Amino acid sequence: MVDTTTTEKAGPCREEWKIRGEDLLKKINEIIREGNVRHISIKDKTGKTLVDLPLTVGVVGTALAPVLAAVGAIAALVSECTISVERQA
């Protein structure tokens, strides 16, 4: 991980990490396991959004398999990216 930013407002909490592509899948798994995540966005180093992942509270197990497969494919293609996470307050 290179950088972490947290923004707290009256609404949902937003966090952002700049990481290497090879660490992307590991970090996404970690974020999902922590829980209370509403939305995950992955952007390339130029700021272009590669994928937006809306997550519901009840998403677990095999329901995450397609999401994690997509994240793994993105990790193989990018050298550096930014993960933006929206959490429930």
At 43-79, the pLDDT tens digits run 999 999 999 988 765 555 666 778 788 889 989 989 9
In the predicted model, what is the mean pLDDT of residues 16-38? 90
CA dihedral sign of residues 31, 67, 38, 23: positive
CB-CB contact of 25 with 81 (8 Å): no
- In the numeric block, which tokens belong to residue 30? 């970690």
Q: In whole angstroms, what is the distance from residue 68 CA to residue 47 CA?
A: 21
